[in-house]
Amino acid sequence: MISLRRAAPQLIALAVILFLNWLAFPGFFNIRIQDGRLFGSVVDVFNRGAPVMILAIGMTMVIASRGVDLSVGAVMAMAGATAATMTVAGYPLVAVLAAALVVGLLCGLLNGILVAFLDLQPIVATLILMVAGRGIAQLVTEGFIVTFNEPGLIFFGTGSFLGIPMPVVIAAVLGVLAILLVRRTALGLLIEAVGVNRSASTYAGLNSRVLLLFVYTFSGFCAALAGIIATADIRGADANNAGLWLELDAILAVVIGGTSLLGGRFSILMSMLGAIIIQAMNTGILLSGFPPEYNLIVKAAVIIMILLAQSLSLAGAGAFFRPGAKAKPQEPLRSSDPSANKAQNPA
Amino acid sequence: MSNRLLPFYATLLIAVVAYGLCVMQFPNMFSTRVLGNLLTDNAFLGIAAVGMTFVIISGGIDLSVGSVIAFTGVLIAVLVGWYGFHPLVAFAIALLLSTLFGAGMGAIIHYLDVPAFIVTLAGMFLARGLSFVITTDSIPIGHEFYSTIQSLYWRMPGGGRLTVIGGLMLVVFLGGIVLAHFTRFGSYVYALGGNRQSAELMGVPVARTTVLIYALSGFLSGLAGVVFSIYTSAGYPLSAVGVELDTIAAVVIGGTLLTGGTGYVAGTLVGVAIQGIIQTYIVFDGTLSSWWTKIVVGILLFAFIALQRVLVLVSSRKAGALAPA
C-alpha cells in the first residue's frame, strides 16, 4: 500500500528519535510483563500516542478532502464530559458509550453540513465548535471535574487485551478498519478526488457533498472515541483540559505523515506513524530530564523542517535527494492554488 | 457595494440591541463606568484583533497571537524584574522581537509558499515554548512605572474611568482604520485578499506586503502583550491561551469575510464590544456560568458566517456567475 521508499524519511526520523531516546535512557527498549500486561517505555509511547493516533485517522481523511477539523479537541472534551456525567448518574456502560459516540457523530455531522451544504471554509466551520464546544462541555459537567470509579469505563483507558494496553488495541483496530474501508473500496480514491478538485469531481459525477459529510462525521466519531479513552485514563472528565491542543497534534501527525494540507493523496498508516513520532519525541524529552516545556519548541522546529523539506521537493530539488522518486511529486497539488477557488465566488 | 456594509450594520445593530436589552434588565449597565471597564478589560483583545483584521482581510490567518502576548508579558516581567531594565526599554525590546517574529512568519509564508495556518501554528508553539523555557512561574512586576500608568486615567462624565490602556486601544483602532482605508498599504492588503494573482499582475508588491502584514500583526500582538502586562502587573507563560480564537471571532463577528478581501477595522471594534457586553452581562447576572460567553460567541459566529454566505451567494447570482459547486 505504501512503498518503503515513500515512508523512508518518516521511518528514519523515528529510528533517529528512538536511538536518541535510547542514548538518553538506556533502559528505553526494556519491556517486561507484569500482571499480564506489557510495561516499558516503548509500550508507553504507543499507549500515550493512541488518542492522537485515533484523531489522526479521522483527520487524515478530512485533510485529504482539502479540509481541516479544528473541533476534535473540543469534541473530545464533550464526549468525555458526557461519558463521565452519565456514568456518575448511573447509566449502564453500553448507554454511556453509545451516548458519547453519538455526541461525536452529531458534532461531526454538524461540521459536515456546514462544509458540504453551506460551503463554509473548513477552518471557519470547525472553528465554531472549537469555540463553543468547550463551553458546552463545561455546562455538561457544571464546571466541575467529574470523577468516577466504574471499572467498565476505566477499562478503556487503563485495561489491556492479550497484554496490550486497550488504547493501543482500539487505535490499531480502528486504523485497520479505516484502511480496509478506504483502500478495499473506492472511497479513498473518491475522497482524494474531492480534495484535489471538488468542482471537477462533482462534474465527473461524484456526490462530493455526501463524501464530505462522511469524512467530517467520521472525524467526529474518532474524536469521541479518543475522548472516551482520555476520560477513562484519568477516571474523570476535565472539560477545560481534555483534548486541549490535541487538534494541533493530530494535524501535525498528518503533516508529518506526508499528507498535503492542500488535499489529495493520503495515507492513514503514515499519519499514525506521524502520531507515534510526535509521542516518541515527547517521551524522549521527558526521559532525558529536559523540562516538558521544550516539547513545544521541538514541535515548532519539526514543523519548520518539514515545511522546508516540502518546499525543497516542490522546487524540484527533492529529486536530487531521492533518486528514482518522481520529480516534483506534488506538482498537481500546487497548481490547484487556493485563489483559484476564490475566483468562483467573488465576495 | 451596500452588500459589503450589510454584515457591519448587522453587527452594529446586534451590539446596540444587546446593550439595550442588558440596560433594560440592569439599568446600572447604562453608565460610563461600565463603558470604561469594558474598554480596559478588553484592551489587549482589541489591539490584537486589529492586527488579526489585516491578516484576515489579506486572506491569511495568524494563530500565534495568544502565544506572542504571553511571550511578551513574560519577557517584560523578566527584563524588568530580574535584570532591572526600565519598563519602557523592556517594551521597546519586546515590541522589536514580536515584530521581527511576525515578519519572519510572513517571510516563510511567502517565500516557502505554505499555508499561513501551518506556519503560524509553528509560531504559536515556538512562542509558547520560549515563554515556558524562560520561566514556568508567574512573575510579578512591581516597578513604580507600572503603578503610575495604572493610576492614570481620564475621568469621563458620569464617573467612568478611561484608563491609559483603554485609550491606547481606541488609538490603535483609529490608526488601524486610517491604515486600512487611507494608505497605499491598506489598498494592497485588500487587493491581496481579493485575488492574489490579480493583485500581483496589477503590480502589488506581494512579497513586501505579506511580510509587512504579519509584521504588523506581530507588532500589535506584542503591544497587546505590553497592555496585558500592565493590566495584570505580571508575566505568566500560561496566560492568554485561546486569545487567537477570541480575536478571530471578534473579526468575523465584525463582518470581515474569512475568505479575505472584505472587512472593516471598525467592525472588529464592534465585535470586541459584543464579546465584552456578553461578559459584563454575565457578571451583572451573577448566576450564569461564564461558559455561556463561549457558547454565545459560537452561536454568533455561526449566525454571521451564515449571513455572509447568503450575501455572497446572492451577489454572485446577481453577477450571473456560477454558484460554487
With residue A160 as reference, give the H or E element that holds it: strand A160-161
Among A297, A299, A311, whose Cβ lies nearest the Cβ of B113?
A311
Q: Which residues contact B76 (CB under 8 A, 6 or more apart)?
A: B87, B90, B91, B94, B141, B225, B226, B229, B235
Mean pLDDT of chain B: 85
- Residues of chain A with Cβ-Cβ distance to B289 below 8 Å are 138-139, 142-143
- Please give the C-alpha separations between residue B12 and each of B193, B255, B270, B273, in angstroms, as whole numbers: 24, 10, 6, 10
Give residue A313's pLDDT: 57
pLDDT tens-digit readout, B70-99: 999 999 999 988 888 888 899 999 999 999
Give residue B303's pLDDT: 79
* pLDDT above 80 (res B322): no
Nearest CA in chain A to B323: A345
CB contact under 8 A, A248 and B306: no
Retrieve residue B123's grid coordinates. 509560531
Q: How far is A269 from chain B (nearest CA, A)?
A: 22
Q: For residues A150 and A232, what is the distance between their CA atoms, to the nearest angstrom?
A: 9
* pLDDT above 50 (res B323): no
End-to-end CA distance of chain B: 25
**CA atoms within 13 A of residue B157's CA, in its CB half-sphere:** 0
| CB distance B279 to B293 below 8 Å | yes
- Residues of chain B with Cβ-Cβ distance to A343 below 8 Å are 195
Q: DSSP characters for A12-66?
A: HHHHHHHHHHHHH-GGGG--EEETTEEESHHHHHHHHHHHHHHHHHHHHHHHHTT
Q: For residues A263 and A239, what is the distance between their CA atoms, to the nearest angstrom?
A: 32
With residue A165 as reference, give the H or E element that holds it: strand A164-165
CB contact under 8 A, A132 and B309: no
Nearest CA in chain A to B306: A118
Retrieve residue B176's grid coordinates. 488601524
- Residues of chain A with Cβ-Cβ distance to B123 below 8 Å are 300
Among A118, A295, A308, whose Cβ lies nearest the Cβ of B112?
A308
Among B132, B196, B261, whose Cβ lies nearest the Cβ of A347?
B261
DSSP state of B1: -
**Could you tell me if A317 lies within 8 Å of chain B, comparing CB atoms?**
no
For the range A296-300, what are the long-range contacts, defined as Cβ-Cβ under 8 Å and sequence gap of 24 or more?
Answer: A296/B125, A296/B126, A296/B128, A296/B129, A296/B132, A297/B125, A297/B126, A297/B129, A297/B130, A297/B133, A298/B129, A299/A252, A299/B122, A299/B125, A299/B129, A300/B122, A300/B123, A300/B125, A300/B126, A300/B129
Retrieve residue A189's grid coordinates. 480514491
- pLDDT classification of B2: cutoffs 50, 70, 90: low
Q: Which residues contact A147 (CB under 8 A, 6 or more apart)?
A: A84, A235, A236
Dihedral-angle region of residue A142 (phi above 0 means left; psi in -120 to 50 means alpha; beta otherwise): left
CB contact under 8 A, A255 and B292: no
Give residue A98's pLDDT: 93
Q: What is the CATH number of domain B2-317?
A: 1.10.3470
**CA atoms within 13 A of residue B22's CA, in its CB half-sphere:** 23
| CB distance B269 to B46 below 8 Å | yes
**Could you tell me if A121 lies within 8 Å of chain B, comparing CB atoms?**
yes
Give residue A284's pLDDT: 82
Among A199, A294, A346, whose Cβ lies nearest the Cβ of B325?
A199
Give residue B176's pLDDT: 93
CB contact under 8 A, B117 and A261: yes
Give residue B106's pLDDT: 93
Q: For residues B223 and B196, what is the distance between their CA atoms, to the nearest angstrom?
A: 29
**Could you tell me if A164 lies within 8 Å of chain B, comparing CB atoms?**
no
* pLDDT above 50 (res B50): yes
| CB distance A212 to A112 below 8 Å | yes
- Residues of chain A with Cβ-Cβ distance to B59 below 8 Å are 338-339, 342
- Residues of chain B with Cβ-Cβ distance to A344 below 8 Å are 321-322, 324
pLDDT tens-digit readout, B25-39: 888 877 888 888 888
| CB distance A64 to A265 below 8 Å | yes
Q: How far is B275 from chain A (nearest CA, A)?
A: 13
Burial of A339: CB neighbours in 10 Å, binned 0-12, 13-18, 19+: middle
Q: DSSP characters for B58-73?
A: TT---TTHHHHHHHHH
Q: How far is A304 from chain B (nearest CA, A)?
A: 7
Nearest CA in chain B to A68: B117
Give residue B24's pLDDT: 87
Count CB pairs under 8 A between chains A and B: 166
| CB distance B43 to B231 below 8 Å | yes
Q: For residues A183 and A179, what is the distance between their CA atoms, to the nearest angstrom?
A: 6
- Residues of chain A with Cβ-Cβ distance to B126 below 8 Å are 296-297, 300-301
* Cα angle: B128, vertex B126, B122; to 5 degrees: 120
Q: Which residues contact A227 (CB under 8 A, 6 or more apart)?
A: A75, A76, A77, A78, A79, A80, A83, A100, A104, A242, A243
Give residue A244's pLDDT: 76
Cα dihedral B219, B223, B226, B232 in deg (nearest 10) = -130
**Could you tell me if A331 lies within 8 Å of chain B, comparing CB atoms?**
no
Q: For residues A239 and A244, what is the distance between their CA atoms, to the nearest angstrom?
A: 9
CB contact under 8 A, B245 and A120: no
Among B119, B130, B322, whose Cβ lies nearest the Cβ of A307?
B119
Nearest CA in chain A to B316: A345
CB contact under 8 A, B258 and A304: no
Q: Which residues contact B224 (CB under 8 A, 6 or more apart)?
A: B43, B44, B45, B47, B48, B65, B69, B72, B243
Residues 194-253 of A with CB under 8 A from B: 198-199, 202-203, 208, 248, 251-252
Among A128, A296, A314, whose Cβ lies nearest the Cβ of B128?
A296
Q: Which residues contact B325 (CB under 8 A, 6 or more apart)?
A: A198, A199, A202, A203, A208
Q: DSSP characters for A68-119?
A: --TTHHHHHHHHHHHHHHHHHTT--HHHHHHHHHHHHHHHHHHHHHHHHTS-
Cα dihedral A195, A200, A203, A209 in deg (nearest 10) = 20
| CB distance B8 to B254 below 8 Å | yes
Mutate to test the interface with B, among A70, A107, A113, A128 (most CBs of B within 10 A): A128
CB contact under 8 A, B129 and A294: yes
Q: Mean pLDDT per segment of 10 residues, for chain A of length 347 residues? A: 66 83 79 76 85 92 88 90 87 89 93 86 82 83 80 80 86 92 87 86 86 92 92 82 81 85 84 89 80 77 74 49 39 40 38
Q: For residues B172 and A194, what is the distance between their CA atoms, to the nearest angstrom?
A: 43
Give residue B49's pLDDT: 93
Burial of A202: CB neighbours in 10 Å, binned 0-12, 13-18, 19+: middle
Nearest CA in chain A to B315: A347
Length of chain A: 347
Nearest CA in chain A to B197: A339
For the range B154-160, what are the long-range contacts, defined as Cβ-Cβ under 8 Å and sequence gap of 24 or more?
Answer: B156/B32, B156/B35, B156/B36, B157/B32, B158/B31, B158/B32, B158/B33, B159/B31, B159/B32, B159/B33, B160/B31, B160/B32, B160/B33, B160/B34, B160/B35, B160/B36, B160/B37
Retrieve residue B249's grid coordinates. 471571532
Retrieve residue B322's grid coordinates. 456560477
Q: What are phi and psi of B61, to 5 degrees?
A: -155, 150
Nearest CA in chain B to A251: B118
Q: For residues B111 and B120, what is the distance between their CA atoms, to the nearest angstrom?
A: 14
**Could you tell me if A35 lies within 8 Å of chain B, comparing CB atoms?**
no
- Residues of chain A with Cβ-Cβ distance to B315 below 8 Å are 346-347
With residue B14 as reference, give the H or E element that holds it: helix B2-25
Burial of A316: CB neighbours in 10 Å, binned 0-12, 13-18, 19+: exposed
pLDDT tens-digit readout, B267-307: 999 989 988 888 888 888 877 777 777 788 888 778 777 77
CB contact under 8 A, B112 and A307: yes
Length of chain B: 325
pLDDT tens-digit readout, B189-240: 999 988 888 888 888 898 999 999 999 999 999 999 999 998 888 888 878 7
| CB distance A87 to A96 below 8 Å | yes
**Could you tell me if A113 lies within 8 Å of chain B, comparing CB atoms?**
no
- pLDDT classification of B254: cutoffs 50, 70, 90: confident
What residue ranges do the domains of chain B occupy?
Answer: 2-317
Nearest CA in chain B to A346: B316
B235 in helix, strand or coil?
strand
Give residue A175's pLDDT: 92
CB contact under 8 A, B114 and A307: yes
Nearest CA in chain B to A198: B325
Q: For residues A58 and A183, what is the distance between their CA atoms, to the nearest angstrom?
A: 15
CB contact under 8 A, A128 and B252: no
* pLDDT above 80 (res B241): no
Retrieve residue A89's grid coordinates. 448518574
Among B128, B259, B325, whose Cβ lies nearest the Cβ of A198?
B325
Mutate to test the interface with B, among A304, A313, A328 (most CBs of B within 10 A): A304
Q: For residues A24 and A226, what is the distance between their CA atoms, to the nearest angstrom?
A: 30
Q: For residues B29 and B22, what is the distance between their CA atoms, to the nearest angstrom?
A: 7
